[in-house]
Structure 1
């Protein structure tokens, strides 16, 4: 894990001016927990603001003492009215920051590196930004190599980052074409597939999940080496996307056969 990288507390001397200069090209970290996680996993953060600096540091004392020193240097207090002009949706913790997005080349190298010790999660043409964020949070928690999306959804959209609680910086998150997916056996979740409980998922697997509405695309289904299904009671239509990913990663983590 990389050491936290906090930028100067006031950038060019004015945190609001720094924010507005960098906002269009940076990753928005919305809330204390997103900032906490980004710091833990080595994000470069040039500016962070809060409505109540004392309260934010007290939260760090309670929940994240490992990044308290970095936050002491980084956090700048701004009026609530100003804070509300900087973020699209104020967070209950009244904390926000901007981070530098990791280089795409770095992530592509991590995804392509072999041998892999943990799977890559593939979201095939996902539609729901919140679900995508929840999946990234899950993947980071399980130590997955990365999360790849296909289709038009931007996995670094602010709503996805908010749903991921800043854990985009704990794994490799990129958007790719199906033809450009990393190497490795591709296990695609499908109701007609083999029961996952009878399978062992290898560490170098690609674990692919179809969109919430239409399932797997024809292109990904053709690329799949194995179709697998999750246990489900008859007449239940489907699981939430993040739930399906959680069940699959848990099965992998247990090394079940």
Structure 2
């Protein structure tokens, strides 16, 4: 595969255009940092502030500094904005190869597993989906599955996930094809989660921001579970609900015994 590394600006732009339709857009320093940390193949990276990006790497992510230095091709700001209309303030963008669907489906379907799978049932908000993927990666979840029409690899979702799609398995699936494991679906009429222990092989399902659980997902559920909420409060944000549920799961396991990784620098 071609690479922008070492290319002059015009050649770097040509390589970028040739890859853009088949690769995942990583918009901003943090998305590229995370993608590199978790093994993404990144054939192209452009910046209008090479010195500034490398200074950020020195300060925040020295572990990827060498890889970034080899990847970054300098282009002027006008050219970069023509390629990435919503350019991140860090003035850098990259293209990464999307992980294979077969590999992700294998990871999602493997048993036993050490951490739950998150299911977003027909989500509608791209930013919320990205925030959930970021949470799932942070807790070490096995993966995030979406049902419905939303593309979990949409550039806005990847931006919201800060590149952490590469730290977990992210795929779109039909409800009938969900990964194996007991399905705990979040619902206001369900059993209070505080009285439950969520198993590591759980499939944790969350309804859409607008209409809640679909009929198909509700029928598939083994357990309906509710989060504690003050009366007259309508609902929590989707990412907040996922975060609360994953924290409850992790609190049932001591560090290193099925829970998320420990604190990182």
TM-score range, shorter chain: over 0.9
* Contact 2:36–2:64 (Cα < 8 Å) also in 1: yes
Per the TM alignment, residue 62 of structure 1 is displaced from its structure 2 partner at its CA by: 0.1
- Counterparts of 1:79 and 1:8, CA distance in 2: 14
Q: Which of residues 186, 190, 194 is equivalent to 2:187? A: 190
Residue matched to 1:25: 22
Runs of 5+ unmatched residues, structure 2: 254-265
Per the TM alignment, residue 10 of structure 1 is displaced from its structure 2 partner at its CA by: 3.9
- Counterparts of 1:113 and 1:58, CA distance in 2: 41
Q: Deviations over 1:33-67 (max 9, x none)?
A: 00000000000000001111111000000000000
Q: Which of residues 2, 5, 11 is equivalent to 1:9? A: 5
* Contact 2:186–2:225 (Cα < 8 Å) also in 1: yes
After the TM superposition, which residues 86-97 of structure 1 pair with which residues of structure 2 at under 5 Å, given as runs? 86-97=83-94
Per the TM alignment, residue 11 of structure 1 is displaced from its structure 2 partner at its CA by: 6.3
Residue matched to 1:81: 78
Aligned residues: 251
Q: Which of residues 16, 30, 34 is equivalent to 2:31? A: 34
Per the TM alignment, residue 24 of structure 1 is displaced from its structure 2 partner at its CA by: 1.0
Q: Deviations over 1:6-41 (max 9, x none)?
A: 956146982111100111111000000000000000
Q: Does 2:247 match 1:250?
A: yes
- Counterparts of 2:221 and 2:55, CA distance in 1: 49
- Counterparts of 1:158 and 1:165, CA distance in 2: 10
- Counterparts of 2:48 and 2:99, CA distance in 1: 27
Residue matched to 2:96: 99
User: Over aligned residue pairs, what C-alpha RMSD do you find?
Assistant: 1.4
Residue matched to 2:152: 155
Q: Where do 4+ consecutive residues of structure 1 move more than 3 Å?
A: 10-13
Change (3 A) 1:119 1:7: farther
Per the TM alignment, residue 186 of structure 1 is displaced from its structure 2 partner at its CA by: 0.2
Residue matched to 2:59: 62
- Counterparts of 1:161 and 1:10, CA distance in 2: 26
Q: Which of residues 114, 126, 138 is equivalent to 1:117? A: 114
TM-score (norm 1): 0.95
Residue matched to 1:138: 135
- Counterparts of 1:38 and 1:7, CA distance in 2: 16
Runs of 5+ unmatched residues, structure 1: 1-5
* Contact 1:178–1:220 (Cα < 8 Å) also in 2: yes
* Contact 1:189–1:229 (Cα < 8 Å) also in 2: yes
Per the TM alignment, residue 163 of structure 1 is displaced from its structure 2 partner at its CA by: 0.2
SS in 1 for 2:20: helix
- Counterparts of 2:135 and 2:36, CA distance in 1: 18
* Contact 1:125–1:211 (Cα < 8 Å) also in 2: yes
